[in-house]
Structure 1
Amino acid sequence: MGWGRLGTSAPTPSALQELNVTVVTFLCRPENVCTLVPRRSAGICFGDSGGPLICNDTLQGVDSFVIRGCASRQFPDFFAPVALYVNWIHSVLRGAGGAGSRSRALSPGHDRP
Protein backbone atom coordinates (compact mmCIF):
# COMPACT_ATOMS: atom_id res chain seq x y z
CA MET A 1 0.00 0.00 0.00
CA GLY A 2 1.35 3.42 -0.84
CA TRP A 3 1.71 6.34 -3.20
CA GLY A 4 4.65 4.95 -5.17
CA ARG A 5 4.93 5.35 -8.91
CA LEU A 6 3.63 2.54 -11.09
CA GLY A 7 6.70 2.70 -13.33
CA THR A 8 10.14 4.29 -13.27
CA SER A 9 9.01 7.24 -15.39
CA ALA A 10 5.32 7.24 -14.42
CA PRO A 11 3.79 10.13 -12.48
CA THR A 12 2.78 9.73 -8.85
CA PRO A 13 -0.69 8.13 -8.73
CA SER A 14 -3.66 10.20 -7.61
CA ALA A 15 -5.14 7.30 -5.62
CA LEU A 16 -3.59 5.19 -2.87
CA GLN A 17 -2.24 1.97 -4.40
CA GLU A 18 -2.75 -1.54 -3.02
CA LEU A 19 -1.23 -4.83 -4.19
CA ASN A 20 -2.15 -8.35 -3.10
CA VAL A 21 1.02 -10.35 -2.45
CA THR A 22 1.99 -13.84 -1.31
CA VAL A 23 4.29 -14.33 1.68
CA VAL A 24 7.18 -16.62 0.68
CA THR A 25 10.10 -18.23 2.51
CA PHE A 26 12.49 -19.11 -0.32
CA LEU A 27 15.52 -16.81 -0.59
CA CYS A 28 14.27 -15.02 2.52
CA ARG A 29 16.44 -14.36 5.56
CA PRO A 30 15.03 -15.33 8.98
CA GLU A 31 15.06 -11.68 10.08
CA ASN A 32 12.78 -10.60 7.20
CA VAL A 33 9.27 -11.19 5.90
CA CYS A 34 9.33 -11.71 2.13
CA THR A 35 6.62 -11.39 -0.51
CA LEU A 36 6.18 -12.11 -4.18
CA VAL A 37 3.42 -11.45 -6.68
CA PRO A 38 2.85 -14.70 -8.59
CA ARG A 39 2.67 -14.46 -12.40
CA ARG A 40 3.14 -10.67 -12.44
CA SER A 41 5.99 -8.20 -12.47
CA ALA A 42 4.85 -6.18 -9.48
CA GLY A 43 6.06 -5.34 -6.01
CA ILE A 44 7.97 -2.73 -4.05
CA CYS A 45 10.54 -0.51 -5.73
CA PHE A 46 13.18 2.06 -4.90
CA GLY A 47 11.55 4.92 -3.01
CA ASP A 48 8.89 2.68 -1.46
CA SER A 49 10.97 2.03 1.67
CA GLY A 50 8.98 2.48 4.85
CA GLY A 51 5.68 1.45 3.29
CA PRO A 52 3.47 -1.07 5.10
CA LEU A 53 2.92 -4.79 4.65
CA ILE A 54 -0.56 -5.33 6.05
CA CYS A 55 -2.08 -8.77 6.65
CA ASN A 56 -5.63 -9.10 7.96
CA ASP A 57 -5.72 -5.41 8.92
CA THR A 58 -2.52 -5.71 11.00
CA LEU A 59 0.83 -4.13 10.20
CA GLN A 60 3.26 -7.03 9.76
CA GLY A 61 6.22 -5.44 8.02
CA VAL A 62 7.84 -2.29 6.68
CA ASP A 63 9.28 -2.11 3.13
CA SER A 64 13.00 -2.69 3.42
CA PHE A 65 14.73 -3.60 0.15
CA VAL A 66 14.64 -5.40 -3.20
CA ILE A 67 17.26 -7.50 -4.99
CA ARG A 68 18.16 -6.91 -8.64
CA GLY A 69 15.69 -4.14 -9.25
CA CYS A 70 11.98 -3.78 -8.94
CA ALA A 71 9.52 -6.58 -9.60
CA SER A 72 12.20 -8.97 -10.85
CA ARG A 73 9.88 -12.03 -10.62
CA GLN A 74 12.99 -13.99 -9.56
CA PHE A 75 13.53 -12.52 -6.10
CA PRO A 76 11.08 -11.64 -3.35
CA ASP A 77 10.60 -8.21 -1.81
CA PHE A 78 12.01 -7.87 1.70
CA PHE A 79 10.22 -6.33 4.68
CA ALA A 80 11.41 -5.68 8.24
CA PRO A 81 9.03 -7.60 10.52
CA VAL A 82 7.39 -5.20 12.96
CA ALA A 83 7.04 -7.92 15.63
CA LEU A 84 10.84 -8.05 16.07
CA TYR A 85 10.98 -4.33 16.82
CA VAL A 86 7.90 -3.77 19.00
CA ASN A 87 9.89 -3.24 22.22
CA TRP A 88 12.24 -0.79 20.48
CA ILE A 89 9.30 1.08 18.90
CA HIS A 90 7.63 1.42 22.31
CA SER A 91 10.86 2.67 23.91
CA VAL A 92 11.29 5.30 21.19
CA LEU A 93 7.67 6.43 21.55
CA ARG A 94 8.02 6.67 25.34
CA GLY A 95 11.13 8.81 24.92
CA ALA A 96 9.59 10.99 22.22
CA GLY A 97 8.23 13.50 24.72
CA GLY A 98 10.81 16.04 23.58
CA ALA A 99 12.38 16.58 20.18
CA GLY A 100 15.88 15.97 21.57
CA SER A 101 15.13 12.51 22.90
CA ARG A 102 13.47 11.48 19.65
CA SER A 103 16.38 12.74 17.57
CA ARG A 104 18.88 10.78 19.64
CA ALA A 105 16.80 7.61 19.54
CA LEU A 106 16.54 7.62 15.76
CA SER A 107 20.00 8.88 14.86
CA PRO A 108 22.50 6.67 13.00
CA GLY A 109 24.86 4.84 15.31
CA HIS A 110 22.40 4.77 18.20
CA ASP A 111 22.03 1.39 19.91
CA ARG A 112 19.97 -0.68 17.52
CA PRO A 113 17.07 -2.85 18.62
Structure 2
Amino acid sequence: MLSVKTLVAVGILVAGCFSLGEGIIGGREAAAHSRPYVASIQVPEGDGMKHECGGFVVADQWVMTAVHCLPTGPNGRKVVLGVHSLSRAEDTKQTFEILELHNHPQFTAHNYDNDIALIKLDRPFNASEAVGAVAFLRAGGVNPGTDAEVETAGWGSLDNLGSRPDTLKEASIRVVSSDRCRRSDYFGRKFTDNMICAHKLCPDPCDRPHKMEDSCDGDSGGPLLYNGVAVGITSNGGKKCGQVKKPGIYTIVSHYTEWIDGVMGRGADA
Protein backbone atom coordinates (compact mmCIF):
# COMPACT_ATOMS: atom_id res chain seq x y z
CA MET A 1 0.00 0.00 0.00
CA LEU A 2 1.31 3.47 -0.84
CA SER A 3 2.28 5.64 2.09
CA VAL A 4 0.56 8.97 2.75
CA LYS A 5 3.76 10.78 1.76
CA THR A 6 3.89 8.89 -1.53
CA LEU A 7 0.25 9.68 -2.28
CA VAL A 8 0.85 13.36 -1.56
CA ALA A 9 3.90 13.40 -3.84
CA VAL A 10 1.93 11.74 -6.65
CA GLY A 11 -0.87 14.24 -6.17
CA ILE A 12 1.55 17.16 -6.45
CA LEU A 13 3.05 15.70 -9.65
CA VAL A 14 -0.38 15.19 -11.24
CA ALA A 15 -1.47 18.69 -10.26
CA GLY A 16 1.68 20.08 -11.87
CA CYS A 17 1.06 18.15 -15.07
CA PHE A 18 -2.51 19.41 -15.33
CA SER A 19 -1.97 22.92 -13.99
CA LEU A 20 -4.94 25.15 -14.79
CA GLY A 21 -3.07 28.39 -14.47
CA GLU A 22 -1.27 28.12 -17.77
CA GLY A 23 -4.27 28.44 -20.08
CA ILE A 24 -5.87 26.76 -23.16
CA ILE A 25 -4.34 23.31 -22.56
CA GLY A 26 -0.82 23.96 -21.36
CA GLY A 27 -0.69 27.45 -22.89
CA ARG A 28 -0.10 30.86 -21.32
CA GLU A 29 -1.83 34.19 -20.86
CA ALA A 30 -1.41 36.43 -23.89
CA ALA A 31 -0.08 39.96 -23.43
CA ALA A 32 -3.12 42.23 -23.18
CA HIS A 33 -4.40 43.18 -26.66
CA SER A 34 -1.38 41.65 -28.40
CA ARG A 35 -3.78 39.81 -30.71
CA PRO A 36 -6.18 42.61 -31.72
CA TYR A 37 -7.94 40.47 -34.33
CA VAL A 38 -9.31 37.90 -31.85
CA ALA A 39 -13.07 38.13 -31.25
CA SER A 40 -15.31 36.79 -28.51
CA ILE A 41 -18.70 35.56 -29.72
CA GLN A 42 -21.05 35.79 -26.76
CA VAL A 43 -24.48 34.35 -26.02
CA PRO A 44 -27.13 35.80 -23.67
CA GLU A 45 -27.10 34.31 -20.18
CA GLY A 46 -29.39 35.76 -17.53
CA ASP A 47 -28.95 39.53 -17.50
CA GLY A 48 -25.57 39.40 -19.19
CA MET A 49 -23.53 37.74 -21.92
CA LYS A 50 -21.25 34.70 -21.77
CA HIS A 51 -18.32 33.78 -24.04
CA GLU A 52 -19.30 30.90 -26.28
CA CYS A 53 -16.85 30.80 -29.20
CA GLY A 54 -13.97 32.62 -30.79
CA GLY A 55 -13.54 34.34 -34.12
CA PHE A 56 -11.10 36.67 -35.83
CA VAL A 57 -11.40 39.92 -37.75
CA VAL A 58 -10.54 39.67 -41.44
CA ALA A 59 -11.93 43.01 -42.73
CA ASP A 60 -13.44 46.20 -41.33
CA GLN A 61 -16.90 44.65 -40.91
CA TRP A 62 -16.20 40.92 -41.13
CA VAL A 63 -15.31 38.23 -38.61
CA MET A 64 -14.40 34.66 -39.58
CA THR A 65 -15.47 31.80 -37.33
CA ALA A 66 -16.72 28.19 -37.43
CA VAL A 67 -20.19 27.12 -38.55
CA HIS A 68 -20.73 24.98 -35.47
CA CYS A 69 -20.26 28.03 -33.23
CA LEU A 70 -23.68 29.44 -34.10
CA PRO A 71 -25.84 26.32 -34.41
CA THR A 72 -29.12 28.25 -34.01
CA GLY A 73 -28.11 31.33 -35.99
CA PRO A 74 -27.38 34.72 -34.37
CA ASN A 75 -30.22 34.27 -31.84
CA GLY A 76 -29.19 37.20 -29.64
CA ARG A 77 -25.47 36.54 -29.88
CA LYS A 78 -23.05 39.47 -30.06
CA VAL A 79 -19.44 39.88 -31.16
CA VAL A 80 -17.03 41.67 -28.84
CA LEU A 81 -13.67 42.98 -30.06
CA GLY A 82 -10.83 44.53 -28.09
CA VAL A 83 -11.22 42.00 -25.27
CA HIS A 84 -8.56 40.73 -22.92
CA SER A 85 -10.54 40.07 -19.74
CA LEU A 86 -14.05 38.76 -20.26
CA SER A 87 -15.26 40.00 -16.88
CA ARG A 88 -13.52 43.33 -16.34
CA ALA A 89 -14.59 46.65 -17.83
CA GLU A 90 -12.14 47.63 -20.58
CA ASP A 91 -12.27 50.88 -22.57
CA THR A 92 -10.95 48.95 -25.57
CA LYS A 93 -14.05 46.75 -25.91
CA GLN A 94 -16.36 47.24 -28.89
CA THR A 95 -19.62 45.28 -29.01
CA PHE A 96 -21.50 44.49 -32.23
CA GLU A 97 -24.77 42.98 -33.30
CA ILE A 98 -24.64 40.30 -36.00
CA LEU A 99 -26.03 41.85 -39.17
CA GLU A 100 -25.48 38.78 -41.37
CA LEU A 101 -24.33 35.21 -40.79
CA HIS A 102 -22.98 33.20 -43.74
CA ASN A 103 -22.39 29.50 -43.07
CA HIS A 104 -20.56 27.49 -45.70
CA PRO A 105 -23.29 25.67 -47.62
CA GLN A 106 -21.37 22.38 -47.62
CA PHE A 107 -20.76 22.21 -43.87
CA THR A 108 -21.13 18.61 -42.68
CA ALA A 109 -22.16 18.16 -39.05
CA HIS A 110 -20.99 14.52 -39.06
CA ASN A 111 -17.32 15.42 -39.19
CA TYR A 112 -17.26 19.26 -39.28
CA ASP A 113 -15.97 19.33 -42.85
CA ASN A 114 -16.17 22.86 -44.38
CA ASP A 115 -16.48 24.36 -40.89
CA ILE A 116 -16.13 28.00 -41.90
CA ALA A 117 -18.53 30.91 -41.43
CA LEU A 118 -18.43 34.68 -41.95
CA ILE A 119 -20.16 37.21 -39.71
CA LYS A 120 -20.97 40.68 -40.97
CA LEU A 121 -20.99 43.13 -38.07
CA ASP A 122 -23.68 45.79 -37.82
CA ARG A 123 -21.05 48.48 -38.45
CA PRO A 124 -17.30 48.77 -39.17
CA PHE A 125 -15.07 48.59 -36.11
CA ASN A 126 -13.00 51.52 -34.90
CA ALA A 127 -9.38 50.54 -35.54
CA SER A 128 -7.04 50.85 -32.54
CA GLU A 129 -4.09 49.08 -30.95
CA ALA A 130 -6.63 46.69 -29.42
CA VAL A 131 -8.81 46.09 -32.50
CA GLY A 132 -7.63 45.29 -36.02
CA ALA A 133 -7.80 42.73 -38.81
CA VAL A 134 -5.39 39.88 -39.53
CA ALA A 135 -4.35 38.69 -42.99
CA PHE A 136 -5.59 35.24 -43.98
CA LEU A 137 -3.98 32.80 -46.41
CA ARG A 138 -5.52 32.77 -49.85
CA ALA A 139 -5.58 30.12 -52.59
CA GLY A 140 -2.07 29.47 -53.89
CA GLY A 141 -0.46 30.31 -50.55
CA VAL A 142 1.70 27.81 -48.71
CA ASN A 143 0.12 26.09 -45.73
CA PRO A 144 2.31 24.90 -42.85
CA GLY A 145 3.73 21.40 -43.24
CA THR A 146 4.26 18.65 -40.71
CA ASP A 147 6.04 19.82 -37.55
CA ALA A 148 5.69 23.51 -38.50
CA GLU A 149 5.14 25.72 -35.46
CA VAL A 150 1.76 27.44 -35.46
CA GLU A 151 -0.15 29.49 -32.89
CA THR A 152 -3.68 29.59 -31.57
CA ALA A 153 -5.51 31.71 -29.01
CA GLY A 154 -8.83 31.84 -27.21
CA TRP A 155 -10.84 31.80 -24.01
CA GLY A 156 -11.58 28.08 -24.23
CA SER A 157 -11.52 25.49 -21.48
CA LEU A 158 -8.32 24.92 -19.54
CA ASP A 159 -9.05 21.23 -19.12
CA ASN A 160 -11.57 18.52 -19.96
CA LEU A 161 -13.61 19.49 -16.88
CA GLY A 162 -14.65 22.71 -18.63
CA SER A 163 -12.84 25.21 -16.40
CA ARG A 164 -12.69 28.51 -18.32
CA PRO A 165 -10.17 31.38 -18.09
CA ASP A 166 -11.08 35.05 -17.76
CA THR A 167 -8.22 36.38 -19.88
CA LEU A 168 -7.07 35.47 -23.39
CA LYS A 169 -4.76 32.48 -23.58
CA GLU A 170 -2.39 31.49 -26.38
CA ALA A 171 -0.38 28.42 -27.28
CA SER A 172 2.39 27.48 -29.70
CA ILE A 173 1.71 24.07 -31.20
CA ARG A 174 2.97 21.94 -34.08
CA VAL A 175 1.27 20.53 -37.16
CA VAL A 176 0.73 16.78 -37.06
CA SER A 177 1.00 14.93 -40.37
CA SER A 178 -2.27 14.47 -42.24
CA ASP A 179 -1.43 10.79 -42.77
CA ARG A 180 -1.26 10.29 -39.03
CA CYS A 181 -4.54 12.13 -38.40
CA ARG A 182 -6.23 9.90 -40.98
CA ARG A 183 -5.22 6.77 -39.08
CA SER A 184 -8.09 4.83 -37.54
CA ASP A 185 -6.71 5.37 -34.02
CA TYR A 186 -6.72 9.15 -34.62
CA PHE A 187 -9.69 10.47 -36.66
CA GLY A 188 -9.96 7.99 -39.52
CA ARG A 189 -12.28 8.94 -42.38
CA LYS A 190 -13.63 11.94 -40.50
CA PHE A 191 -10.38 13.77 -41.25
CA THR A 192 -10.61 15.39 -44.69
CA ASP A 193 -8.35 17.30 -47.07
CA ASN A 194 -9.89 20.55 -45.76
CA MET A 195 -8.34 20.03 -42.32
CA ILE A 196 -5.05 20.55 -40.49
CA CYS A 197 -4.44 18.88 -37.13
CA ALA A 198 -2.02 20.24 -34.56
CA HIS A 199 -0.98 20.07 -30.92
CA LYS A 200 2.28 19.91 -28.99
CA LEU A 201 3.86 17.34 -26.74
CA CYS A 202 5.56 19.26 -23.95
CA PRO A 203 8.92 18.36 -22.40
CA ASP A 204 9.59 16.95 -18.95
CA PRO A 205 9.26 17.22 -15.94
CA CYS A 206 5.81 15.87 -16.85
CA ASP A 207 5.60 12.70 -18.94
CA ARG A 208 4.86 13.61 -22.54
CA PRO A 209 1.54 11.75 -22.84
CA HIS A 210 0.16 13.79 -19.93
CA LYS A 211 1.34 17.30 -20.79
CA MET A 212 0.05 18.89 -23.96
CA GLU A 213 -0.57 22.20 -25.63
CA ASP A 214 -3.87 22.09 -27.47
CA SER A 215 -7.08 24.00 -28.16
CA CYS A 216 -10.24 23.07 -26.27
CA ASP A 217 -13.97 23.69 -25.90
CA GLY A 218 -14.68 27.43 -26.33
CA ASP A 219 -11.64 28.02 -28.54
CA SER A 220 -13.68 26.99 -31.59
CA GLY A 221 -13.86 29.62 -34.32
CA GLY A 222 -10.55 31.19 -33.32
CA PRO A 223 -7.51 31.47 -35.58
CA LEU A 224 -4.61 29.16 -36.31
CA LEU A 225 -1.67 31.35 -37.33
CA TYR A 226 1.48 30.59 -39.27
CA ASN A 227 4.06 33.37 -39.49
CA GLY A 228 1.40 35.86 -38.37
CA VAL A 229 -1.13 34.87 -41.06
CA ALA A 230 -4.40 33.07 -40.30
CA VAL A 231 -4.24 29.68 -42.03
CA GLY A 232 -6.89 27.80 -40.06
CA ILE A 233 -10.05 28.04 -37.98
CA THR A 234 -10.31 26.07 -34.74
CA SER A 235 -12.93 23.45 -35.53
CA ASN A 236 -12.70 20.34 -33.39
CA GLY A 237 -10.68 21.85 -30.54
CA GLY A 238 -13.31 20.68 -28.10
CA LYS A 239 -12.86 16.96 -28.71
CA LYS A 240 -10.88 15.19 -25.97
CA CYS A 241 -8.57 18.16 -25.39
CA GLY A 242 -4.94 17.44 -24.64
CA GLN A 243 -4.94 13.79 -25.69
CA VAL A 244 -2.10 12.47 -27.82
CA LYS A 245 -4.24 10.82 -30.50
CA LYS A 246 -6.86 13.58 -30.64
CA PRO A 247 -5.00 16.77 -31.68
CA GLY A 248 -7.02 19.89 -32.42
CA ILE A 249 -8.53 20.06 -35.90
CA TYR A 250 -8.50 23.29 -37.92
CA THR A 251 -10.32 24.20 -41.14
CA ILE A 252 -7.85 25.22 -43.90
CA VAL A 253 -8.83 28.80 -44.78
CA SER A 254 -7.07 28.95 -48.18
CA HIS A 255 -9.43 26.29 -49.56
CA TYR A 256 -12.30 28.77 -49.38
CA THR A 257 -10.94 31.89 -51.08
CA GLU A 258 -13.60 31.94 -53.80
CA TRP A 259 -16.43 31.49 -51.31
CA ILE A 260 -15.00 34.15 -48.95
CA ASP A 261 -14.62 36.68 -51.76
CA GLY A 262 -18.14 35.95 -52.94
CA VAL A 263 -19.70 36.43 -49.52
CA MET A 264 -17.76 39.56 -48.62
CA GLY A 265 -18.28 40.97 -52.11
CA ARG A 266 -22.03 40.55 -51.86
CA GLY A 267 -22.00 42.11 -48.40
CA ALA A 268 -20.05 45.12 -49.63
CA ASP A 269 -22.54 45.65 -52.47
CA ALA A 270 -25.60 45.33 -50.27
TM score, norm. by length of structure 1: 0.73
CA RMSD of aligned residues (A): 2.1
Q: Which AA in structure 1 matches 2:249?
A: F
> What secondary structure does 2:166 align onto?
coil
Report the equivalent of 1:71: 242
How far apart, CA to CA, are the structure 1 residues paired with 2:218 and 2:200?
19
Code of the residue aligned with 1:41 in structure 2: it is M
| Higher RCO (Cα < 8 Å, 6 or more apart) | 2
Q: Which amino acid aligns with 2:257?
A: V
Q: Which segment drifts farther, 77-86 or 65-74?
A: 65-74
Matches within 5 A, 1:5-24: 5-7=157-159, 8-14=161-167, 16-24=168-176
Q: 1:4-53 deviations in whole A, cap 9, x for unaligned?
A: 23233434332x21111010111143221110211323312222210100
Structure 2 gap ranges (5+): 1-152, 183-191, 202-207
Separation in structure 2 between the aligned mates of residue 56 and residue 82 of structure 1, nearest angstrom: 15
Q: What is residue 3 of structure 1 aligned with on the other side?
A: 155
CA contact (8 A) 1:67 1:75 kept: no
**Higher strand proportion:** 2
| 2:233 paired residue among 55, 62, 81 | 62
Rounded Cα–Cα distance in structure 1 between residues aligned with 2:212 and 2:196: 19
Alpha-carbon distance in structure 1 between the residues aligned to 2:176 and 2:157: 24
In the alignment, what sits opposite 2:264? 93
Aligned residues: 98
Task: In structure 1, list runs of 5 or more residues that go unmatched.
Answer: 102-113
Max radius of gyration: which structure?
2
Q: Distance in 1 between matches of 2:222 and 2:261?
A: 19
Structure 1 residue runs of 4+, over 4 Å off? none
TM-score (norm: length of structure 2) = 0.33
Q: Tell me, in whole angstroms, the C-alpha distance in 1 between the residues paired with 2:239 and 2:265.
A: 38
